[in-house]
A and B are shown apart, each in its own frame.
Chain A
Amino acid sequence: MIEEVIVSGRSNPEIDPYLHVWGWEIPFYLFIGGLVAGILFFSAVYTIRGKQDDYPTAVKFAPMFTPLLLALGLSALLLDLSHKLYFWQLYTNIRWESPMSWGAWTLMIIYPLAIVWSALWIKDVFPKWDWKFKWLEDWIEIIRQYQKYMAWALMVLSIVLGMYTGILLSAFNARPFWNTAILGPLFLTSGLSAGAALIMLLSKKEGEKRLFARIDLMLIGTELFLIIHLFMGFLAGTNVHIEAARLFLGGEFTNSFWIFVVFGGLIFPAILELLELRKIKIPHYISAILVLFGSLALRFIVVDAGQASRWLY
């Protein structure tokens, strides 16, 4: 029997008995990052393909939320920082090896872009809207020409933001559960499907809803595949990875993960969407909300499980 005991009473807050430094702020921030990435990606793609009129909510209406959502996400991140007054230090240098650093810079760039992007569409969404100041009006007209390039930039940046939320966690080799490269694509797809779900929720046009339902189905399919791939990767990894996987196959996170995230967040909404596509009358907002909830729960559970998996004693 091996008994390893800390006898000098180590009880650092947030670290002992097991790591719990990141509470609800970081998972919420990652979810928001994924959602915003999803919305901006779709709106950018459909502007490039010139389909802004066929899918008004996706291209015009949804981005309206992004500035607000980003503000929420950033405030959650700020809340999580324990040395708040020094947060601006993030922007004193770029550290390529630290995902947290280039994640912060992406947010710094994406935030104004999102504002400008929604400013461009504000006229179409709220016709009555008028910019009080003259110079604002023509300033927006000037920007309109660069809309194409902005769309491209937004698309690339949203992909990077979506991937960042996953890679932030996968860079920590100290936490076996996070240390897999699959987390990046998984969080990207989960963000995109959350974006699609939100658009489905908001849109009024039937055609748009059907398109995004189909996209969401495909994304949920890939997400399920990635989750299975994640666990197979762990089971074929080193013993700390196997232990981390066991947290989900019989360990403490088993039912909360498989019921809420996989079934409630992915499979059930997928079935609902399938039925919808088969024209069976189902209130469409159920599956959308379930997908959003599933995506949020995924991040909460992954962050908690990561902090529970460890190398030592």
Chain B
Amino acid sequence: MRYAMAIDTKKCVGCSDCVVACQVENNVPIGHCRDWVVEATSGTYPDLSLEIRSERCNHCTNAPCVRCCPTEASHIVDGGIVVVDHDECIGCKACITSCPYDARFVHPEGYVDKCTFCIHRVEKGENPACVSVCPTKCMYFGDTDDPNSEISQLLRKRKWKTLIPEAGTEPNIYYLT
């Protein structure tokens, strides 16, 4: 089972609902966030194009943050979700430096925190908080191993890209362009 997320940049309006929903759902302390929204504008007035992406931890298959964690606090559970075990993390922050997407942060209580694909919801069969709140329904979550899951069909139908694939981490957040 390989969970992944697809974000349709054609529909995302950059409203940051996913950011607030994640903060509220997971009690992320104010001043920190597990996901964020990027607006990439290119061209010159009036020939412009704008791509809006909601970014978070990519739950990489070859995750540098899991490789470099000395206490195995940062580990991959089944479904490919990268989680941090709060009681095993000593806060050496090696994983923060090793993540090319800057998707981790130090929780005021000391351990390192990150997006967990809302594993407590996914285990109950629900979608992550950000996917279930997105007003433009532009975020899809599912199992890419299962060929007829919604996300697999989308990845077959649509053009997509991932963030800095050349960093070698095999990210699992796909941006439909």
Contact = CB atoms under 8 A, between A and B. Distances in A.
Whether chain A touches chain B in the assembled complex (some CB pair under 8 Å): yes
Interface of A: 1-16, 19, 21-22, 77, 80-87, 89-90, 92-93, 95, 97-101, 103-104, 168, 171-175, 178, 238, 306-307, 310-313
A243 B48 CA distance: 27
Contacts of A90: 70-71, 90
11 contacts: A3-B40, A7-B39, A9-B16, A9-B36, A13-B32, A21-B93, A86-B90, A98-B68, A173-B64, A174-B101, A174-B167
A3 B111 CA distance: 33
Interface centre among B19, B99, B105, B111 (most CB of A within 10 A): B105
Given A14-B105, A95-B72, A174-B98, A83 B90 contact: yes
Size range of the interface on B? 35 or more
Contacts of B67: 97-98, 171
A10 B36 contact: yes
Given A86-B111, A99-B68, 5 more contacts: A19-B97, A174-B98, A175-B98, A310-B102, A311-B167
Contact of A313 (B38, B96, B106): B38
Contact of A84 (B91, B97, B168): B91
B100 A100 contact: no
Contacts of B32: 12-13
Contacts of A92: 71-72, 88
B24 interface: no
Given A7-B39, A13-B106, A89 B96 contact: no
B36 A8 contact: yes
Contacts of A15: 96, 102, 104-105
B14 interface: yes
B97 A10 contact: no
A243 to B, nearest CB: 13
B36 A6 contact: yes
Contacts of B27: none
Contacts of B68: 97-100, 171-172
B37 interface: yes
Contacts of A168: 94
Contacts, number: 172
Nearest to A104: B70
B33 interface: yes
B98 A172 contact: yes
A82 B110 contact: yes
B94 A100 contact: yes
B-side interface mostly: loop
Contacts of B31: 11-13
Given A10-B36, A86-B88, A98 B69 contact: yes
Interface string B36-66: 1111111110000000000000000000100
B154 to A, nearest CB: 24
A16 B31 CA distance: 11
Contacts of A100: 68-70, 92, 94
A85 B99 CA distance: 24
A14 B90 contact: no
A90 to B, nearest CB: 6
B1 interface: no
Nearest to B14: A7
A4 B90 contact: no
B14 A82 contact: no
A291 B86 CA distance: 41
B44 A95 contact: no
B41 A3 contact: yes
A113 to B, nearest CB: 21
Interface centre among B36, B68, B111 (most CB of A within 10 A): B68
Contacts of B40: 2-4
B37 A312 contact: no
A310 B112 CA distance: 20
B111 to A, nearest CB: 5
A82 B107 CA distance: 9
Nearest to B16: A8
B119 interface: no
A313 B53 CA distance: 13
B138 interface: no
A95 B68 CA distance: 8
Interface in B156-175: 163-164, 166-169
Contacts of A14: 93, 96, 105-106
B113 to A, nearest CB: 9
Contact of B97 (A2, A11, A172): A172
Nearest to B52: A7
